[in-house]
Amino acid sequence: MSLWTFGQGDGAHALVIGVGDYPSLLGGTAPLYPQHGGMTQLTSARPSAQAFADWLTTQYQSATAPLRSLELLISDAIPVNYTAAGQTQTVERATSATVRKKVLDWFQRANTQQNRAIFYFCGHGVAAGLQCTLLFEDFGTVQPAPLSGALDFTRFHLGMDQCAAREQMFFVDACRAASPMLLYSAGYYGDPVLTPGKPTSPSRKPPVLYAALPNAVAYGRTNQSSFFTEALLKAVHGSGAGKIAGRWSILPSVLYRSLSRLLEQAVAGTSVIQACTVDHLVDFAIHDLSGDPDVPVSVDCQPPINLAADRLIATSPGANRDQPPPVPKPWCVDLPVGQYRFSASSPAGTSVYVDEIVFPPYTDVVLP
Amino acid sequence: MSDLLISINALDGTTSQWLVPTTVRRLDGDIVKQIDVTTNAGPERVSVGSGTYLAEAYLPSGELLRGSTTVGDTGETSIRLLLSPSPHEWLQTSARMTSTVRLTSRPAMPAAVDFPPGARTRAARVPHIFSALRVWLEDPRNVQLRSPILPQPLVPSYSDMLVERFDFGPPGAFTGGPVGSGILFISRHFTTWYAVALPFGWVTIDNLGEAHFEVVINRSTGAITTVVQDQRFGPVLGYLADGQSALAARVLDRQAMELLAEKLMNPFAAAAGGYVLVQRALAGIETSPQWRNWIRNLSNWFPTLPDGWILRGTLLLNGLLANDAADDSSSAAHECFRRAITLGVPLFAGGVRLLLTGMMTLAEDDAAIAWVRRLSLHVEPHQPFTTLRVEEPQ
């Protein structure tokens, strides 16, 4: 078992999958799948899935859909224990057989209209055009049928319309690089687990946030959460928020914009090029914030400001931040929503300033 | 009450006009009003009480424009949002109407290969662009393209990328052919071939002229992007391609749709609007169901346009349109999808997505599903016009 439950009643049911151990891919322990396409073991999948699960179990809050269950599946080089709500369990591995069963269980748990279904996957993915396929631990172990260890995500997402939960959120932290394997697989793109059926009513809200553009690659980091998941977890802290019904909540449209910027910043300075995208975008309150959101602010200084000697200050009635020299370029700081004065003061006492409003999903300031 | 004047202007001197959805908020985040602002035109006026206000516009390119001001008890106060010059200024403001910038923001690479003359970029009139795309998909090398139309590419002198920009438009290419005719624009990047269909006869509802099409090829990445120079529908398509149907719906006002639907001016733009409205309806968000009958008219009056049948089939499948015939709505939807498939490849990438969803849902015709799934492998999902990508067989 790797299922945690949290109270009774309608709410959110999450299925979180991290696949880093692929025995039949490069560096694996089983016979190598010949058409591995350069795919190797991933050390980022476990920390990414755990970090997302941590957020769900410790920070996620929703007045309409509080967390009711979390199913966590992780394939890593070593067995994984996970603790939530004071209960430690050994996490089951994400083989295709296990995932198939757990998807059906998750479907049933979420299968009432007032529920919410949350799906998160971190691992290898292959794609072509609109088609997206996610790879489980046993991908390639049956060499004549490699895709028996894969999820046809496109069809699975469509099949989730049969689940009565009308609010569904999907996070796919995986590559979408074009794969010859899919192009020549004669119409089979993995097991969808769920069978699409006649569209149900009322309409569902099923946005999908992808870590990569079509035909592009998503990147992990050695033994750390991936760039996408890191940016995602920062965005849900506040910068992905919009105000609806008088309350700050994380909304898919703002989350996407915030995530795009944060991902850009996360990969800055590395050789990585990665941009996220969204499908089936429609807004609903994913996560309610306790107060005003923190917003990532980027302050870029132009001459005559001397980064080596000047001091930057952001002031508002509610918050003050100070950056002594040397000032990084840009100065990146998280600030609560509000009206700020950004100023640069030189040792000689001269000062320049600009007034800006700090607001989600991000704020850029140029001084002077 | 005071007047808040909101405008969007380009700093680089370009005068392209686009309709951009803009939100006016109070500082506490509450929305005061949602308006559409035309770039490089006069300001939009909003009546507000005294206080501090924020105006923000999110462009299809991913850029966020934002400005703020404090308004007194009376008088006028302005917020001027600026499209500042960017490293992609060679694209002018049209770049802001697509996700081009994000899709091509990659380091420069060496030129791919020296293409043989005439094969580097080829375009041709074909009798029917929808079926031509299907033929091309089978083997891009074997398509016989006739009467090449080759406007000289504008190669930017300032860029970290190898980029070409083509402008297609009247006079010349778009002299008012029948619905279904147009240009098949083809490009190659290493062993990857791209094709995009450009329809004849895209009439803008704002000036009743035929629109230009701009095709941008990034030779460094292979990305190919198409923008129609239509101030109202350029942004609609840009937002649609970026998955932002809510913003697309804001630009697509009711008056525009009525003009399209009732005056039959531009079936392509009507289909583009149809995709916006269908997506909103599928999400359970629509202001009026009246437009659903317009979709029926679109497929009846322009039966050679696959997109009309796809939209109609989607409405039927989802129980959003009454069925004319005695058979059930699923059968009627299947017939619509089948007719679309017979016609060829949809003009818009959104049509491929809906066709795929529809056929997978119905699951009645293995050969048709196989064809649509194959098509879905080759479509670039985040381009407005159907752009197909084919790897050259090894």
* B125 and B8 both lie in a single domain: no
Q: Looking at residue B364, what is its pLDDT?
A: 73
* B40 and B116 both lie in a single domain: no
For the segment A8-24, what is each residue's pLDDT rounded down to a tens digit? 999 999 999 999 999 99
Q: What is the mean pLDDT of residues A45-65?
A: 97
Which H, E and C letters describe A89-117, residue by residue?
Answer: EECECCCHHHHHHHHHHHHHHCCCCCCEE
Q: Looking at residue B117, what is its pLDDT?
A: 35
pLDDT at B104 over 60: no
Quote the tokens at residue A340. Answer: 């700020």
Q: Do B356 and A154 touch (CB under 8 A)?
A: yes
Q: pLDDT class for B217, splitting at 50, 70, 90?
A: confident
Q: What span, in angstroms and rounded, lies between the C-alpha atoms of B73 and B1?
A: 6
- Most confident residue range from A104-118, A197-211, A316-330: A104-118
What total of structural domains would you count in chain B? 3
Q: What percent of chain B has pLDDT over 90?
A: 29
Better-scored residue on pLDDT, A259 or A270: A259
pLDDT at B125 over 70: no
* B100 and B176 both lie in a single domain: yes
Q: Do A158 and B27 touch (CB under 8 A)?
A: no
* B209 and B310 both lie in a single domain: no
CA distance A278 to chain B (A): 6
Q: pLDDT class for B198, splitting at 50, 70, 90?
A: confident
Q: Do A178 and B373 touch (CB under 8 A)?
A: no
Which residue range(s) make up the domain with B74? 2-83
Q: Looking at residue A332, what is its pLDDT?
A: 93
* B155 and B214 both lie in a single domain: yes
Q: Which residues of B touch A178 (CB under 8 A)?
A: 389, 391
**In this structure, is residue B165 part of a structural domain?**
yes
pLDDT at B118 over 60: no
Task: Tell me the average pLDDT of chain A.
Answer: 94
Least confident of A213-217, B83-87, B99-103, B388-392: B99-103
Residue of B nearest to A187 (CA): B370
Q: Do B245 and A281 touch (CB under 8 A)?
A: yes
Sheet with A131-135, side-by-side order of all strands: A125-128, A131-135, A150-152
Name B152's Cβ contacts closer than 8 Å, sequence gap at least 6.
none
For the segment B131-151, what is each residue's pLDDT rounded down to a tens digit? 778 877 777 654 443 333 445
Name A229's Cβ contacts closer than 8 Å, sequence gap at least 6.
A48, A51, A52, A122, A173
Q: Do A131 and B376 touch (CB under 8 A)?
A: yes
Q: pLDDT class for B102, splitting at 50, 70, 90?
A: very low
**In this structure, is residue B259 part of a structural domain?**
yes
Better-scored residue on pLDDT, B261 or A95: A95
Q: What span, in angstroms and rounded, lies between the C-alpha atoms of B291 and B252?
A: 12
Q: Chain A 70-109, CB below 8 Å of chain B: which residues?
A: none
Name A54's Cβ contacts closer than 8 Å, sequence gap at least 6.
none
The dihedral through the CA atoms of B311, B313, B315, B320 has a sign that is positive
Better-scored residue on pLDDT, A340 or B328: A340
Q: Which residues of A touch B282 (CB under 8 A)?
A: 203
Please report the ipTM that was assigned to this predicted complex: 0.89
DSSP string, B172-215: TS-S-PPTT-EEEEEEEETTEEEEEEEES--B-TTT-PBPPEEE
Q: Look at the block and give the residue holding tokens 């043989």.
A: B116
Q: What span, in angstroms and rounded, lies between the C-alpha atoms of B374 and A128?
A: 10
Q: What percent of chain B has pLDDT over 70?
A: 75
In chain A, what is the straight-line distance between the N-terminal and C-terminal CA atoms, in Å?
58
CA distance B377 to chain A (A): 4
Q: Do B243 and A130 touch (CB under 8 A)?
A: no
Fold of A3-288: Rossmann fold (3.40.50)
Q: Looking at residue B393, what is its pLDDT?
A: 64
Q: Look at the block and give the residue holding tokens 């770049």.
A: B95
Q: Looking at residue A294, what is its pLDDT?
A: 94
Cα of A287 vs its chain's centroid, Å = 14
**In this structure, is residue B227 part of a structural domain?**
no
Q: What is the mean pLDDT of residues A228-236?
A: 97
Q: Looking at residue B89, what is its pLDDT?
A: 41
Q: What is the mean pLDDT of residues A27-32?
A: 96
Angle between helices B329-343 and B349-362 (to 10 degrees): 140
Domain parsing of chain A, residue ranges: 3-288, 294-367
Number of Cα atoms under 13 Å in the Cβ half of residue B233: 32
* B63 and B112 both lie in a single domain: no
A interface mutation test: which of B360, B365, B387 has the most A CBs within 10 A? B360
Q: Looking at residue B249, what is its pLDDT?
A: 87
Fold of A294-367: Immunoglobulin-like (2.60.40)
**In this structure, is residue B136 part of a structural domain?**
no
Residue A129 is nearest to which of B107, B281, B377, comparing CB atoms? B377
**In this structure, is residue B320 part of a structural domain?**
yes
* B63 and B181 both lie in a single domain: no
**Cis upstream peptide for B116 (omega within 30°):** no
pLDDT at B209 over 60: yes
Q: Looking at residue A18, what is its pLDDT?
A: 98
Name B67's Cβ contacts closer than 8 Å, sequence gap at least 6.
B54, B55, B56, B79, B80, B81
Q: What is the mean pLDDT of residues B167-186?
A: 66
Q: Looking at residue B84, what is its pLDDT?
A: 67
> Tell me, what CATH number does B32's domain have?
2.60.40.1120
- State the amino acid at position B37 in one-letter form: V
Task: Tell me the average pLDDT of chain B.
Answer: 78
In the listed set B83, B103, B118, which residue is the last one of a domain according to the structure? Answer: B83
Q: Looking at residue B155, what is its pLDDT?
A: 52
**In this structure, is residue B380 part of a structural domain?**
yes
Q: What is the mean pLDDT of residues B333-344?
A: 94
* B246 and B155 both lie in a single domain: no
pLDDT at A274 over 90: no
* B262 and B326 both lie in a single domain: yes
Task: Give the SS3 label for residue A32.
Answer: coil
* B253 and B217 both lie in a single domain: no
* B315 and B261 both lie in a single domain: yes
CA distance A56 to chain B (A): 25
* B306 and B341 both lie in a single domain: yes
Task: Give the SS3 label for residue A133.
Answer: strand
Q: Looking at residue A311, what is its pLDDT?
A: 94
